[in-house]
């Protein structure tokens, strides 16, 4: 019997398996498809395209820093340059207030508004401002009569960090918990050099070198529960038994595998939640278009372009350039042909405006009209799934739909880290 069975080989499952194997636990990881989940690096015509949100926020306080040391892996960090970040405000570009220099140079806020915005940051950092339970960030700002420009700035920040077109719906407590940590960091945004694949491969190496087993093309279709414990999972007629179980698969899959158990209603609840979707439009160019910025955010349209190859030169051939545009989508936008066509046209217009000549240099585009940024969108009607539930004593859950710190991939890593820590403490 194994110490731990992990179901799901995305970032959460892989990091959990690596941590446990490194600590001497016998581990088997079961993955129905390819390793990495939504975090995938795809090679097209010598360009490396990353699927899944691959920016790491607050990397100097990120759980990945812990994993780097504990697993003895190397992450080739590529830190974002805030001085090359701009807001498109229609008639001109202005600095993003990502640091003190940007705050005082930006034209998006008046001088008095900058003081109010800075004061709100200060209160958040020293934990004076924590938000209010069951109150959205919009209502919190309305109740305090926050200036419209400052309000817009606070929502713009949230839109980009939470990957949402509806930042006003974020719970105020979630908003301030997130920014309390981010405002204290010295490395607000970073990318993983070599893309997700470099990190995934290092997790795999740690697992295998420490006696762990990875089985792909192994879809778990049933869970066996006895009393308050999971005793086995089944795949293709074979049962896998262990002392502890970590399920790193999304709620909709959990609903299916736990269907015949007494906690199926619990999974049903989270399976109904709406994900957060974005429209992704990457373009690979045979030559660089030199511009004085690497990040452009259009406030009005809630879309941005990042020069990925500026930060990670390994993703392009010599002299090439890889640009990524992301537009945040509302639930009603997903699958709407007219809306997605309009979004694509606006992105192309944004490329025309800020990277003139890209059409003539285009090698290959990559378009995803409904890319899932996060399994559960943060709003007042949805809350993350706990890492543990009282009904099952030997079972844990991890992924970006679970309780943890940060957003996006950080939620996957922190929920997995919490699950493994609880197992190791037993």
CA–CA distance, 384 with 270 (Å, rounded to integer)? 8
Average of per-residue pLDDT values in the chain: 90
Annotated binding residues, written as ranges, equal 220
d(CA 186, CA 188): 6
If one compares 10 and 195, the residue with the highest pLDDT of the two is: 10
pLDDT digits (tens, 9 = 90+) for 232-254: 999 998 999 999 999 999 999 99
Annotated binding site for FAD: 220
pLDDT band of residue 125 (cuts 50, 70, 90) is low
Read off the pLDDT band of 267 (50, 70, 90). very high
Tell me the per-residue pLDDT of 134-181, one tens digit each, with 9 for 90 and over.
Answer: 999 999 989 988 888 888 888 888 888 888 889 999 999 998 888 887
Each residue's pLDDT tens digit, 178-226:
888 777 777 878 888 888 889 999 999 999 999 999 999 999 999 999 9
Q: How confident is the model at residue 126 (pLDDT cuts 50, 70, 90)?
A: very low
* 112 C-beta neighbours (distance < 10 Å), count: 11
Question: Cα–Cα distance between 14 and 196 in angstroms, integer?
Answer: 12
Q: How far apart are CA 252 and CA 246, in angstroms?
A: 16
Rounded to whole angstroms, the Cα distance separating 70 from 68 reads 6
Considering only CA atoms, give the Rg of the chain.
Answer: 22
What residues pair up with 33 in beta bridges, in sequence order? Answer: none
Q: Could you identify the residue written with the tokens 């030559």?
A: 287
Q: Which two tokens stand for residue 82?
A: 């805030």
pLDDT of res. 112 = 57
Residue 127's CB is within 10 A of a number of other CB atoms, namely 10
User: Other CB atoms closer than 10 Å to residue 205's CB: what's the count?
Assistant: 13
pLDDT the model gives residue 83: 85
Residues 55 and 192: their CA atoms lie apart, in Å, by: 7
pLDDT reported for residue 221: 93
pLDDT in tens, 27-48: 999 999 999 988 888 889 999 9
Distance of alpha carbon 329 from the chain centroid = 15
Looking at per-residue confidence, does 396 or 192 come out higher?
396
Residues 392-410: what's their mean pLDDT? 93
Q: Where are the beta strands (DSSP E) in 52-177?
A: 55-57, 77-79, 85-88, 93-95
Cβ neighbours of residue 2 closer than 8 Å, sequence gap 6 or more: 26, 27, 28, 240, 241, 242, 243
Q: What is the pLDDT of residue 54?
A: 67
d(CA 401, CA 379): 13
Per-residue pLDDT, 161? 83
Phi/psi for 374 (5° steps) reads -150, 140
CA dihedral angle for residue 18, residue 19, residue 24, residue 29, rounded to 10 degrees: -40
How far apart are the C-alpha atoms of 18 and 56, rounded to whole Å? 20
Where is average pLDDT lowest: 75-79, 151-155, 263-267, 392-396? 151-155
pLDDT above 90 covers a percentage of the chain that reads: 63
Q: Of residues 109 and 260, which shows the higher confidence score?
A: 260
Please give the backbone phi and psi of residue 336, each rounded to the nearest 5 degrees, phi first: -85, 110
Task: Tell me what pLDDT residue 262 has.
Answer: 87
pTM, entire model: 0.91
């Amino acid at each position: 019997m194994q110490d731990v069975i992990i179901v799901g080989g995305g970032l959460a499952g892989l990091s959990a398996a690596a941590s446990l194997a490194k600590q001497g636990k016998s581990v088997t990881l079961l993955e129905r498809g390819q390793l990495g989940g939504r975090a995938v690096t795809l090679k097209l015509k010598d360009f490396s395209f990353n699927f899944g949100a691959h920016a790491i926020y607050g990397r100097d306080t990120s759980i990945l820093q812990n994993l780097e040391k504990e697993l003895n892996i190397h992450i080739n960090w590529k830190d974002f340059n805030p001085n090359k970040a701009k807001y498109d405000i229609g008639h001109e570009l202005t600095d993003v207030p990502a640091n003190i220099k940007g705050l005082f140079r930006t034209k998006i806020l008046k001088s008095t508004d900058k003081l109010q915005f800075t004061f709100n940051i200060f209160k958040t950092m020293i934990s004076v401002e924590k938000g209010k339970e069951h109150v959205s960030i919009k209502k919190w700002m309305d109740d305090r009569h926050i200036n419209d420009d400052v309000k817009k700035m606070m929502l713009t920040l949230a839109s980009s960090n939470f990957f949402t077109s509806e930042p006003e719906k974020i719970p105020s407590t979630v908003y301030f918990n997130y920014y309390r940590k981010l405002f204290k960091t010295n490395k607000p945004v970073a990318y993983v050099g070599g893309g997700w694949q470099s990190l995934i491969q290092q997790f795999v190496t740690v697992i295998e070198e420490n006696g762990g087993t990875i089985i792909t093309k192994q879809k778990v279709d049933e869970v066996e529960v006895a009393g308050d414990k999971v005793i086995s999972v089944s795949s293709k007629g074979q049962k896998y038994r262990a002392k502890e179980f970590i399920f790193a698969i999304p709620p909709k899959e959990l609903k299916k595998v736990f269907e015949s158990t007494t906690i199926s209603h619990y999974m049903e609840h989270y399976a109904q939640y709406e994900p957060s979707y974005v429209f992704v439009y990457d373009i690979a160019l045979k030559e660089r278009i030199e511009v004085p910025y690497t990040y452009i955010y259009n406030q009005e349209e809630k879309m941005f372009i990042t020069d990925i190859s500026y930060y990670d030169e390994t993703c392009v051939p010599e002299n090439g350039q890889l640009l990524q545009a992301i537009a945040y989508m509302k639930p009603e936008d997903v699958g709407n042909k007219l809306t997605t066509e309009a979004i694509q046209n606006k992105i192309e217009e944004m490329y025309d405006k800020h990277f003139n000549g890209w059409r003539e240099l285009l090698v290959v585009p990559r378009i995803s009209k409904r890319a899932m940024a996060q399994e559960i969108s943060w709003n007042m009607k949805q809350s993350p799934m706990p890492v543990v539930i009282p009904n099952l004593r030997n079972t844990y859950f991890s992924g970006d739909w679970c309780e943890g710190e940060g957003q996006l991939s950080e939620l996957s890593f922190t929920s997995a880290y919490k699950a493994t820590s609880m197992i190791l403490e037993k």
